[in-house]
Chain A
Amino acid sequence: MSDAAAPPALRFDGVTRRFGSVVAIDRLSLDIFAGEFFALLGPSGCGKSTPLRLAAGFDAPSEGRILLHGAPLTAPPHLRPVNMMFQSYALFPHMSVADNVTFGLKQEGLPKAEIAARVSEMLALVQLSALGARKPHQLSGGQRQRVALARALAKRPQVLLLDEPLAALDKKLRAETQFELKRLQRRLGTTFVIVTHDQEEAMTVADRMAVMQAGTVAQVGTPDEIYEHPASRYVADFIGDVNLLQGRVVRTDASSVVVACDGFGEIIAGPAPEARVGETIWLALRPEKIAVSEGGRAGVGQNEVTGTVVEVGYRGEQSMLEVRTAAGSILKVSVTNRRRRAADGPAVGESVRLTFAADDIVALTR
């Protein structure tokens, strides 16, 4: 982000961590740049917390190394200039809010006056100045989350590691806190690495993100790269809703690929340079990128299919339709409910025509 020549703030260099016969992370290589808000996204149990614990020093890699601004990280946890915000917050229950924030600064042996100044600065930063004397159990979930954040930030870490920091909050508060976290990060300029299983959260807060799959990185990129240009079926399916159509490559050129799909005929999709004619391939088609129109008139054009609505899931701002095509496949299609619920939306049993632009279809070889 900043200086291209400078080493990344945090680099995982071929890091493997095994627990007995279980491989939690497998040859992980990842560069996280200074000042970046980076997200590690993955389902539960895919080993996505392990990189954080390795970076914090609670655990050591079985193979590979971790570099902080180019220097190998090998010191014990208490001597590493990175700090962690724990999923459980890990607030010391026998200390007040202020004492929790003070704890880390005291370990550094800073002068008293400076500690006091830094603590009140931090509490102000997370809007908890009035609650310094409270004990953690006297706070709400959102307040506790902010104390944990203030405590970790008070030490001015070179990298802040956040392990599922918002998982304990309810949905609405979580959404608000995501923006707050992002604002805070931008203001401080500290490198943030967040681990989460919530794709919306990762996409909202992160500048760049890595999608984890069984201990390896499936794809690294900005949120829109990952959503619009998934590198594999796994990524396409994990992020958002998607229709995956299997087919055989008929023709391919620099700007597009033509794929024969059962029940859809030939579909033109975006370019797939690696695809070879005759090979099996998958097409990823997002529900919101399908245009719906009345199915009355006869005949179908290119990238078009007719079908019957079999299910309507009303979600408020939009509805998700399940459409059975003439050949019997099911497609998920979303329509935006622009007007207050009117009778003109597609209803169950209605026949519809679905159209999709070639540019909106991603051809995947993996």
Chain B
Amino acid sequence: MSEGATQGGRGMRRSWTLRLAILLPFAWLVLFVLLPTLIAFKISLSQTVLAQPPYVPVLNPSGGWDAFVGFLNALSFENYTAVFTDSLYLASYLKSLQVAALSTALILLIGYPIAYAMARAPRGVQSVLLILVILPFWTAFLIRIYAWINILQRDGLLNQLLLSLGIVDAPIAWLASDTAVYIGIVYSYLPFMVLPLYATLERMDAALREAAADLGAPPWKIFWQITVPLSRPGILAGVLLCFIPIVGEFVIPDLLGSSSTLMIGQTLWTEFFANRDWPFASVVALVMLVILVGPIVLYEHLQARALEKAR
């Protein structure tokens, strides 16, 4: 190996092309990711009014220093206090976390055997299976949820099947229930779990399992003591990749769930679109972001480490 290449000597030369390559996407992300988050924070400290934009204070750049001080004084943390004292919002956050945790566990339970079987399939079959698992992920999210409405509705196929088999006497109300939400989430997020799991399992050295067998471990012990511990990076990536977005999920609970306890994504949606309370919607979003910042940072750390390893 050439030492210079591995130790990053190429950082030395900065041609204008490279500068542009760094600057352009970086500037874009600062403008469209960082700045909007900061603006949301500012608005979360504002009050709702019936105007356009529907919040005060609005910073008037031509007002000079006094206007700026006045603007700062008008900001308040009142909205945050409201979120933490209103049991409705607390219940909504808890519901989201509960649904995310439980459904992520379910997805792991269902996804692991699938990923494991994929990794053990012969080479040629593996790539076909990979396409088969990815394909639903490429078809629209909304369509996949809609497909389940077809099945789960009162006179849908599932009830028809159960009735004709004589398992139930009257149709069950599957839709507008937590069960439907869990089915929808597991169905939609399954590929997010299977793919990282498959990636780690597929890379795993067959000799390790053979060595364990050679040393006298029965298959189930090999699975629990060799395969599962070694696939931990994949498990972690899959769990985070599911858990984080599920917490903020809107479409699935909205179309399949009941309206008794809303998930936090729905609450945010309602605050924004129905109540037109932008400051409050911002508060809800930012508190969610704070809850998720740990998992997000962990996921980013995993991603960066995986890429370093692949180098």
Contacts and interface: CB of A to CB of B under 8 A. Distances in A.
A234 interface: no
B123 interface: no
Interface string B12-38: 110100000000000000000000000
B3 A47 contact: yes
Interface stretch (A52-60, A92-100, A141-149, A261-269): A52-60
A49 interface: yes
B7 A163 contact: no
Nearest to A47: B3
Interface in B156-176: none
B3 A58 contact: no
A23 B79 CA distance: 56
Contacts of B12: 58-60
Interface in A135-171: 163
B87 interface: no
A342 interface: no
Contacts of B309: none
B2 A49 contact: yes
A363 interface: no
A50 B13 contact: no
B1 interface: yes
Interface string B235-262: 0000000000000000000000000000
Contacts of B1: 44, 49, 87
A343 interface: no
B9 interface: yes
B4 A24 contact: yes
A53 B13 contact: no
Contacts of B8: 19
Most buried by A among B2, B7, B12: B2
Interface residues of A, number: 19
B301 interface: no
Contacts of A49: 1-5
Most buried by A among B1, B3, B10, B12: B3
Interface string B34-50: 00000000000000000
Contacts of B3: 19, 24, 45, 47, 49-50
Contacts of A45: 3
B13 to A, nearest CB: 7
A50 B7 CA distance: 11
B166 to A, nearest CB: 63
Nearest to A25: B3
A76 B2 CA distance: 19
A254 interface: no
A32 B2 CA distance: 21
Contacts, number: 46
Contact of B10 (A22, A44, A58): A58
Nearest to A57: B13
Contacts of A22: 7
A47 B7 CA distance: 11
Contact of B4 (A20, A44, A58): A58
Nearest to B10: A58
A17 B8 CA distance: 12
Interface in A31-45: 44-45
A24 B1 CA distance: 13
A19 B4 CA distance: 8
Nearest to B15: A76
Contacts of A20: 7
Interface string A47-85: 101101110001110000000000000001000000000
Given A24-B4, A45-B3, A76 B13 contact: yes
Nearest to B13: A76
Nearest to A20: B7
A87 B2 contact: yes
Contacts of B13: 58, 60, 76
B203 to A, nearest CB: 22
A80 to B, nearest CB: 13
A262 B104 CA distance: 72
Contacts of B9: 17, 19, 50, 53, 58-59
A53 B2 contact: yes
B1 to A, nearest CB: 7
A163 B4 contact: no
Contact of A19 (B2, B7, B15): B7
A92 to B, nearest CB: 18
Contacts of B10: 58-59
Contacts of A47: 3
Nearest to B9: A59
Given A59-B12, A60-B12, A76-B13, A53 B7 contact: no
A281 to B, nearest CB: 34
Contacts of B2: 49-50, 52-53, 87, 163
A60 B8 CA distance: 12
A117 B153 CA distance: 76
Nearest to A215: B3
A146 B269 CA distance: 65
A50 B13 CA distance: 15
Contacts of A60: 12-13
A45 B7 CA distance: 11
A49 B7 CA distance: 12
5 contacts: A19-B8, A24-B7, A49-B2, A50-B4, A59-B9
- 9 closest Cβ pairs, A-B complex: A59-B9, A49-B2, A19-B7, A53-B4, A59-B4, A60-B12, A50-B4, A49-B3, A24-B3
Given A49-B3, A50-B9, 7 more contacts: A22-B7, A50-B2, A52-B2, A53-B9, A58-B13, A59-B10, A163-B2
